Structure 1
Amino acid sequence: MPVAELTISSKTYSSWSLRGWLLCRLAGLEVREKMVEQENPENRAELLLLTPSVLVPRLTHERASVWDTLAIAEYLHELYPEAGMYPKDRIARAHCRSVSGEIHSGFANLRSALPMNLKVRHERFPIFSGAKPDIERVEAIWTECLETYGGPWLFGEKPTVADAMFAPVAQRFLTYAVPLSANSAAYSETINSWGLMREWIDDARREADEVAELDVEF
């Protein structure tokens, strides 16, 4: 029986829910999933990618209630340090926290221009010029990490919190056929082939299309 509950929203559109779920799986914590109502105003704000500061995802575990993906990551790392959610090396661990925090708090143009949608693939998609610096910054982060730690994950041979945080970005790049360097494209495919990612995508494809349209400004 799961000892924890993870409140999430749409698996098709919700990048923050995906991050929270991946973090729980990285920690080895079995959770019962609780879906919030699509009409919930806070949930719609999250689906519209307006803010990460909503109460979804929320992890409820042993009388603790934890929301915000980075708070969930730190909580799980504190409970399950043996899971290796962060690198063992202090310098690499600081780097991992830094890039995870950066994607968590920034990249607003990227979020609005390329909303997550796991049910579609575009062969061509016009990318808002304001999103291009965000894309370039993501690629710079990935390049530095992959070259420093040897890949195939951002911090070496195993996925970490950083990979969970960047997973929705990699999926966006695949969905919208964003032109990428060879290394970035390979990393996006590593994320796409990740067993946990495939499990989430399969669930998303079975999900009812309750959100007919997202009023995202492009």
Structure 2
Amino acid sequence: MTQAALTISSKNYSSWSLRGWLLCRMAGLDFEEVLVEMNDDARQELLLLSPSVLVPRLTHDGVNVWDTLAIAEYLNEITPDAGLWPADIADRARCRAVSGEMHSGFHNLRSALPMNLKARHERFKIFSGARPDVERVKAIWTECLEASGGPWLFGANPTVADAMYAPVCSRFRTYAVELEPKLAAYADAVLAWPLMLEWTEGALAEPDEIVELEVEF
């Protein structure tokens, strides 16, 4: 398969980079990681969502894709046997719906609980505006796990939905969000996923002086 490149930013802070990276690894894509250096200019461009540095961005066989769900769909087209989406049409529709909901929503959760894999709070007060987002995530996980039987949101194997919600699992751990046993077991399974462990190892190795952005990216 043609060598690909995935442009990402901080492994510690960039949840969208994590999602794109997980999807590429799940698809079995052979790709090179291209890191956007977090200097002041790049930071300002990222805050403005400049297309020149928007992350993640996949380059493969002359194609450039810079939206996470677009990356998922592209990967599904070039690796249809990877199982990124569930095989059942109803499950596939639900998987797309909950993935799209994460892609376009949960803005208060993103603002209140930014991804930071190096941090761990024993207690953290979530501001009232983000609580409905947290409860909605819990509801999605509950519905999916009850329907599929787990251990992943749509059954025996991870799908796009698990990649989309993986950063939320890390946020819930970082900020000590209480979960009922079934949901805690799911979050623990995601965090123990070898791909997540590999990404987290890279995040922990990042220099501490890297600048944290004030907004979700």
Please report the TM-score for the alignment, with normalisation by the length of structure 1: 0.92
Alignment-derived partner of residue 96 in structure 1: 95
Q: For 2:65, what is the secondary structure of its paired residue? A: strand
Alignment map for 1:7-22 (pairs within 5 Å): 7-22=7-22
In structure 2, how many angstroms separate the alpha carbons of the residues matched to 1:34 and 1:66? 14
Q: Does 1:66 align with 2:65?
A: yes
Instruction: List runs of 5+ in structure 2 lacking aligned partners.
Output: none
Structure 1 residues 198, 167: CA separation in 2 closer, same or farther (over 3 Å shift)?
same
**Structure 1 residue 45, shift from structure 2 partner:** 5.5
Aligned to 2:192: 193
Amino acid at match of 1:43: L
Aligned partner letter, 1:205: L
Distance in 1, matches of 2:155 and 2:3, equals 30
CA distance in structure 2 between the partners assigned to 1:34 and 1:158 by the alignment:
28
* Root-mean-square deviation (Å): 1.8
Deviation at 1:193, TM superposition (A): 0.3
Note if contact 1:6-1:60 (Cα within 8 Å) is conserved in structure 2: yes
Aligned to 1:113: 112
Percentage identity across aligned positions? 66
- Structure 1 segments, 4+ long, off by >4 Å, are none
Counterpart for residue 45 of structure 2: 42
With over 3 angstroms needed to count, the CA separation of the structure-2 counterparts of 1:213 and 1:159, relative to structure 1, is: closer
Query: What amino acid is the match of 1:144?
Result: E
Q: 1:24 aligns to what?
A: 24
Shift of 1:132: 0.5
Q: Whole-Å Cα distance in 1 between the matches of residues 167 and 55 of structure 2?
A: 15
Partner of 1:166: 165
| Distance (whole Å) between structure 2 residues aligned to residue 161 and residue 178 of structure 1 | 23
Judging changes above 3 Å, is the alpha-carbon distance between structure 1 residues 186 and 45 closer, same or farther for their aligned structure 2 residues? farther
Give, in angstroms, the shift of residue 216 of structure 1. 5.5
- Please report the TM-score for the alignment, with normalisation by the length of structure 2: 0.93
Take 1:177 and 1:87, find their aligned partners in 2: how far apart are those partners? Answer: 31
Q: How big is each residue's C-alpha offset from its partner over 1:110-151, in whole Å with a ceiling of 9 and x where there is no partner?
A: 000000000011100111111100000000000000000010
Q: Which residue does 2:136 correspond to in 1?
A: 137
**Which one-letter code corresponds to 1:184 in the other structure?**
L
Match of 1:75, as an amino acid? Y
DSSP-derived class of the 2:6 partner: strand
Deviation at 1:2, TM superposition (A): 7.0
Query: Per the alignment, do residues 199 and 143 of structure 1 end up closer, same or farther by CA in structure 2, a change over 3 Å counting?
Result: same
Larger relative contact order (C-alpha < 8 A, sep ≥ 6)? 2
Structure 1 residue 211 displacement after superposition: 2.8
Q: CA offsets per residue over residues 54-75 of structure 1, 9 Å max, x none?
A: 7210000000000110000000
Residue type of the alignment partner of 2:18: L
**Helix, strand or coil at the partner of 1:198:** helix
> Could you tell me how far apart the structure 2 residues matched to 1:163 and 1:24 are?
13
- Matched residues, number: 211
Q: Which amino acid aligns with 1:159?
A: P
The reply to whether residue 204 of structure 1 matches residue 203 of structure 2 is yes
User: SS at the partner of 1:59?
Assistant: strand
SS in 1 for 2:116: coil
Q: Distance in 1 between matches of 2:162 and 2:73?
A: 15
- In 2, Cα distance between equivalents of 1:44 and 1:9: 12
1:122 paired residue number: 121
- SS for the counterpart of 2:209 is coil
